[in-house]
Amino acid sequence: MSSAAFFDLDKTLMQGSSGFQFARAAREAGVISRRQLASDALANLRYRLHGASDAQSEELRERIAASLTGVRVRDLERLAVRVLQGILPRLYPQMLTIAYEHQDAGRQVYIVTAAAQGLADVLARVLTFDGGLGSHLSEVHDGVYTGNVTGTFLYGEAKAVAIRELAAREGIDLEECYAYSDSVSDVPMLRAVGHPVVVNPDAELLKVAQEGGWEVLRLDRLARKLLLAGAALVAASASAATVAVLHATNQRAEPASR
């Protein structure tokens, strides 16, 4: 039997959220409003710092599906180039190196993501991976999205089901496989393989990883940078305030000039 390596996309293969890159491309094409883009930008920052809950992820799926109402499938496919322009610069070189090392060792490499199946397919081809597993976000009628949520949303347990089905079709031994993810929501996928690896783990996943003795990789330093920047700003403000107080005190202490 063969083996494989499965990679989550957001905060694992890349910094931040592919969903935001899709939203930005959709805004440029006039599919969504500037206000919706700003909302997705804020959600993306929160996601990078804290991860996303099941409810938040489902809400995002429903919002994306609704935003597609009346959009032609062909028009959305044409967004692929713009979306890739946002994703490719945010890929972690270290993770690509790991993925290619798996391929060179004879393992198949797959992206497993809650993002749309079309994006998973395109990105897998561009990165020369062996394939991608993604979500179906909206039903289609006569080549147009209806906005109604349909199909499988590859999130949580659904990812584990998807890779088990793939393994059965391709003759893959999951005990010999690797899986990489950042989120506790992907614990089912990580537990489905013999070699789970956590990347930029959220607090809950880190606890699971430590209990299971799983490998931990840390690549994203945004949270640390923001904390350090905030601390520096506070320190600078305090320093400036101290100087101002001392200056005012000295001014009061000096005799008035004649």
| Catalytic site includes residue 8 | yes
Whether 237 shows a pLDDT value over 90: the answer reads no
Which of the two residues, 95 and 31, has the higher pLDDT score?
95
**Is 121 designated active site?**
no
Determine the Cα–Cα distance for residues 159 and 134; give it in Å rounded to an integer: 9
**Which of 10, 40, 202, 220 is flagged as catalytic?**
10
- Active-site entry in 8, 40, 182, 220: 8
Determine the average pLDDT of the residues in 217-234: 52
Q: What is the 3-class SS of 11-33, one letter each residue? A: CCCECCCHHHHHHHHHHHCCCCC
If pLDDT is split at 50, 70 and 90, which confidence band does 70 have? confident
75 sits in which H/E element: helix 73-77
CA distance 39 to 22: 13
Among candidates 93, 97, 92, 91, which has minimal Cα distance to 109? Answer: 97
Over residues 17-47, the pLDDT tens digits come to 777 677 777 777 666 555 654 455 555 445 4
pTM for the whole thing?
Answer: 0.74
